[in-house]
Structure 1
Amino acid sequence: MLGVQKVSSAPERVIATPATGPLTEADRDFVVEVRSAGLWEYPVGRLALRKGTTKAVKLAGEHLVDGQASLDAASRNVAGRLDITLPNQPSPQQQGFVTTLKTDSGKRFDTDMATILRATDGPFLSTIASVRTTTRNSLVRALADQVNDIVLDHVDVLEKTGLVDFGQVLVQETTASKLAPQEVTPPPPVPGQPQVVLTPPATSTLSPSPSAG
């Protein structure tokens, strides 16, 4: 199984040649990143449904839960077909976001939720575009299309809350990260541990699996 540890030194290096096309390190890291994003944004969406003080924040929570459950199913499907090991926990940095929002309440929760998610989803759009335009694997390409649609939707509903602190978002997006690699890399799954599955809401209308193209 291909590991979850990111290897940024050679993103274009081909690490497998399945029938769906050559798989690079960047492709592998992208599938892992999609899974990792869902592992923290999904519980934040559920927090928004419970703690949000406005209809717009609760609506954003609905979109987060529905969208991340769909992407989780898609990333697990792609990973299984490409022999990629997925994490069962988000990165330490992402776990920190969840911890912060768990302790927040009232309007502070609403503002922090909208700003933190907008600050992370914005740069992810650049990653999606890069993978979509460079990958030679049809499964990864289809996954990138699906992720792009859902992340754009999440950015839209977050901005419509009217609570995003764009000044803070700009600082986070333009300041080089000083975090160590282990802080932004999800830990590998514990051997024998069942794979965590993000359950879609009963009202979900999103497709869980991308086409091979």
Structure 2
Amino acid sequence: MRAIRMTSIAALVVAVSVTSVAPSVAAPVSDQDAMFVKAVHQGNLAEIAAGQDAQENATTSCVRRVGAVLVRDHGKLDADVKTLARKLDLTLPAGPTREQEQELAAVRAKAGSPAYDAAWLKTQDAAHTKTLAMIDHELRTGRNAEVKAAARAARPVVAMHLDMVRGGTCHDVREPATVKAGSGGQFAAASDASLTAGAVGLAGGGILAGLGAAWLIRGRRRSAQDR
């Protein structure tokens, strides 16, 4: 009976250790996740280019300030996207989409006139509305936890940008409470937390499995002695 009891305890411990390891396994990168990462990268490149162009060609200080914010924030966000892409072994496009390039060229054709500012704001309103919808779609349907964490971290920044250009009207620049991106940022922090949790789970599982094996051996020895 003692041998049976010790075997049952050991089996239970091993089962618990396996369960503790399972959550640390990252979800696979789906086609949706991969497309999202690549699209966000291209969007960042397009916004950086648009922001730089506004700083050079806008006729109002408000549009120039918003342009500077886009360059700063999308630069930080894209640094994190590149880090995430390397971790997930995803190849990123070299530049914005052809449509994004054509839109900027059409706005640039109005450089130096009030029409430029109006066209720039209208284009940015549409672009950030589209990006926000893309982020929300990833949060609903994405599978990879790290990609979804990236979307969640970028959302308040994109929403803030949209507020600055909403309706094709330039609004005063409002700084976010924190924009933790670039050099690791929120994306990497979420990834590191996931990896740390996985390491803890593996370590805990190994200890429990070792204890279970020791208890099993001890139980068998006692059983033999009883005989």
Q: TM-score under structure 2 normalisation? A: 0.63
The CA distance in 2 between the partners of 1:159 and 1:59, in whole Å, is 15
Structure having the higher helix fraction is: 2
Which residue in the other structure is 2:73 paired with?
Answer: 67
Letter in 1 for 2:142: T
Evaluate the alpha carbon distance shift between residue 78 and residue 117 of structure 1 in structure 2; reply closer, same or farther with a 3 A threshold. same
Superposed CA RMSD in Å reads: 2.3
Runs of 4+ in 1 over 4 A off after TM superposition: none
Evaluate the alpha carbon distance shift between residue 145 and residue 116 of structure 1 in structure 2; reply closer, same or farther with a 3 A threshold. same
- 1:100 is displaced (CA, Å) by 1.5
Q: Kindly report which structure 2 residues correspond to 1:60-139, keeping only aligned pairs within 5 A, or say none.
A: 60-105=66-111, 106-139=113-146
Letter in 1 for 2:86: G
The CA distance in 1 between the partners of 2:179 and 2:81, in whole Å, is 17
Which residue in the other structure is 1:43 paired with?
Answer: 49
Q: Which has the larger radius of gyration?
A: 2
The CA distance in 2 between the partners of 1:73 and 1:107, in whole Å, is 33
Evaluate the alpha carbon distance shift between residue 115 and residue 25 of structure 1 in structure 2; reply closer, same or farther with a 3 A threshold. same
Letter in 2 for 1:153: M
The CA distance in 2 between the partners of 1:76 and 1:146, in whole Å, is 15
Say whether residues 1:25 and 2:52 are aligned partners. no
Whether contact under 8 Å (1:67, 1:206) holds in the other structure is no
Letter in 2 for 1:93: E
Evaluate the alpha carbon distance shift between residue 206 and residue 148 of structure 1 in structure 2; reply closer, same or farther with a 3 A threshold. same
* Unaligned stretches of 5+ residues in structure 2: 1-23, 172-177, 195-227
Q: Percent identity?
A: 25
Say whether residues 1:158 and 2:165 are aligned partners. yes
Evaluate the alpha carbon distance shift between residue 54 and residue 120 of structure 1 in structure 2; reply closer, same or farther with a 3 A threshold. same
* Unaligned stretches of 5+ residues in structure 1: 1-17, 165-203
- 1:28 is displaced (CA, Å) by 0.3
Which residue in the other structure is 1:207 paired with?
Answer: 181
